[in-house]
Structure 1
Amino acid sequence: MKIYHGRKFDLEVEKVTLPNGVERELEIVKHRGSAAILPMISNDEMILIRQYRPVIGKYIYEIPAGSVEEGEDVEITARRELEEEVGYQAETMEKVLSFYPSPGITNEEMHLFLAQGLKYVGARPEPYEIIEPIKVKVNEALSMIERKEIVDAKTIIGIYFISRRVM
């Protein structure tokens, strides 16, 4: 049963039968998916964003990301978000990983892209996005995770992924 229909997701309540035969009612956030981008300036330098997140009431460091729009290919989403949020176009956009950020409540699948050959064209964030792009070395990003300055899951996954590629 659909409870809510929104621009980015729907909320549904479904009765499911688990593999062990137990029936359960689930509240499920149905999501079209999303793209997250690792914008690499060089082999050891990347772009993060410092973004205000009103849901948690503070600024956090993240990699650029956004929701897939109706009928949109996920690579198009990645390219759109890279340009909107940090102002770059990528010569190459390689899908390197897909994962479920919160499979206990949502079917959202997030796709991680590696963006290289960057060309600055000017950022165009949405009016409700408060974003400051910053350039950071991969080693410094790893240190930011250790110091608990980076707390966003997709960003932690992306930084650890790229650190294994470049080190």
Structure 2
Amino acid sequence: MKKFEEKTLNTNKIFEGKIINLQVDEVELPDGKIAKREIVKHPGAVAVIALTTENKIVMVEQYRKPLERSLLEIPAGKLEPGEKPELSVVRELEEETGYAAGKLEHLISFYTSPGFADELIHLYIATDLQKVEHPLSGDEDEFVELEEVTLEQAIKYVEEKRIYDAKTVYAVLYLQLKMGMN
């Protein structure tokens, strides 16, 4: 038995969408009481820190409707059904930036919001970038603009809340630690 396990008694599927599904689980708590848990089911995602030969971070700016604003982010995207993260990251990097990686390394995987969602992001770092002559086209409803920034600029953008999402802040902190900056 897992510590503090909540046994699922009933699952009520509320919504099934293109990106997420929503369900409400009735659970038995460790003390025997009954509670409800609202859960977002997500297929998982990949994100990539793409570094140019000049050590600039390739980022995409895009509008995020839930926040009603644009953010500057590292390239990322959801896993397609049955798709392995190492294939998804290659596809997403090319679709969103037009680059292919000469070297690709998995850094870590992490849950984004474990209090209500099961989304797991697999974070990679891509180096030895080459422009793809005829890159894969991105999603038809996705509008992005590329920006290549130095680590110093990225840190400033975090402070200014231009970079404001967890995966990108995590990437900036990772690079800051890796490069020994304060």
8 Å contact kept, 1:37–1:78? yes
Stretch of structure 1 that moved more, 40-49 or 70-79? 40-49
- CA distance in structure 2 between the partners assigned to 1:17 and 1:35 by the alignment: 33
The residue number in structure 2 matching 1:94 is 105
| Among candidates 129, 137, 141, match of residue 118 of structure 1 | 129
1:163 aligned partner, one-letter code: Q
More relative contact order, 1 or 2 (CA 8 Å, 6+ apart): 1
- Asked whether 1:77 is paired with 2:115, we answer no
Number of equivalences: 167
Identity %: 37
Aligned to 2:52: 41
Residue aligned with 1:117, SS: strand
- 2:62 corresponds to: 51
Normalised by the size of structure 1, how large is the TM-score?
0.92
Asked if 1:139 corresponds to 2:149, the answer is no
With the length of structure 2 as denominator, give the TM-score of the two structures. Answer: 0.85
Q: Which amino acid aligns with 1:139?
A: E
Superposition RMSD on alpha carbons, in Å?
1.6
What's 2:172 paired with?
Answer: 159
Q: Which amino acid aligns with 1:50?
A: E
Measured after TM superposition, the shift of residue 44 of structure 1 is 3.1
Q: Where in structure 1 are there 5+ consecutive unaligned residues?
A: none
- Would you say the 8 A contact 1:43–1:166 is kept in 2? no
Q: Does 1:148 find its partner at 2:169?
A: no
Counterpart Cα distance in 2 of 1:111 and 1:43: 25
Counterpart CA distance in 1 for 2:179 and 2:53 is 10
3-state DSSP of counterpart to 1:113: strand
Alignment-mate amino acid for residue 61 of structure 1: L
Q: How much does 1:126 deviate? A: 1.8
Distance change (3 Å), C-alpha of 1:142 and 1:123: farther
Match of 1:24 in 2: 35
Which residue type is aligned with residue 154 of structure 1? K
**Structure whose CA Rg is larger:** 2
